[in-house]
Amino acid sequence: MPLIHIDAISAFNDNYIWALVNAAQKTVCVVDPGEAEPVIAYLNEQNLELSGILITHHHQDHCGGVRGLLQYKAVPVYGPQHSDIAATHFVKDKEIIYLSECGVSFRVLAIPGHTLEHVAYYSEQHEWLFSGDTLFSAGCGRVFEGTMSQMYASLQSLAYLPGTTRLYCGHEYTLKNLAFAKHIEPHNEDIAEHIRFVQALDDKPSLPSTLAQEKKINPFLRAQVEAVHTAAEAYTGKKLSEAVDVFAAIRRCKDRF
């Protein structure tokens, strides 16, 4: 197995561009470069060569830097089919892609909801999940293009992955998400403990998380937990019998939080 590590490149106010670095080959593949300049600066500082790009969805803070990077160096760009994504390779659900320069394989997972074409990239070999704006630590993305049912199903499909899977999402939203999680489950000690942990990081990245951790602190993965169900019914003022309706209620609550 090649020696690979992941670096976080900061972009905009709170975006992460993830850099998969093959130390032996001195190559790097980047995930969701919303800007080209921070990536180019990182490559120059670390004396690394760009070898590929992965895109999760078409929002400009995730793909806006692709064309600038292609002017810097022509490399394969993997992403879902959308006119705003300058992909050279369109990916499909359950497809396996192999990044030869990095020596890593990923399974593509279709996870519509935030956008209709949104995908995640999952490496079973390394237990990495790049989830874009669908699953955040202690939160999930807004439902812009899809339906609440689609988003709930997408999150459930990610929750089925092994608990040891490390989560690399697109934004540093963790403390804000934890504040909402505490609002939903004020007596959840796992949430309180994670708030203390993230605060102690003193603005260092809170990621990666793990799916096992997320199942303890993320209300959007806990729709079947009694306290979350109760909070959703309190918000809507009516009885909710289905987990997807609980999810939809707390997602709408988060939109107004």
Known catalytic residues are 57, 59, 61-62, 114, 133, 171
In terms of Cα–Cα distance, which of 7, 3, 36, 37 is closest to 207? 7
Alpha helices in 97-173 (DSSP H): 148-159
* Residue type (1 letter), 131: S
E strand or H helix at 169, and its extent?
A: strand 166-169
Residue with the two structure tokens 């995908």:
119
* 107: number of Cβ within 10 Å: 16
**Amino acid identity for residue 36 in this structure:** A
What is the C-alpha to C-alpha distance for residues 254 and 240, in angstroms, rounded to an integer? 17
Q: Which residue has the tokens 């949430």?
A: 191
Residues paired with residue 11 on neighbouring β-strands, in sequence order: 15
φ/ψ of 112, rounded to 5, equals -70, 155
Alpha-carbon dihedral angle through residues 161, 77, 79, 19, given to the nearest 10 degrees: 40
Query: Is the distance from CB of 138 to CB of 174 less than 8 angstroms?
Result: yes
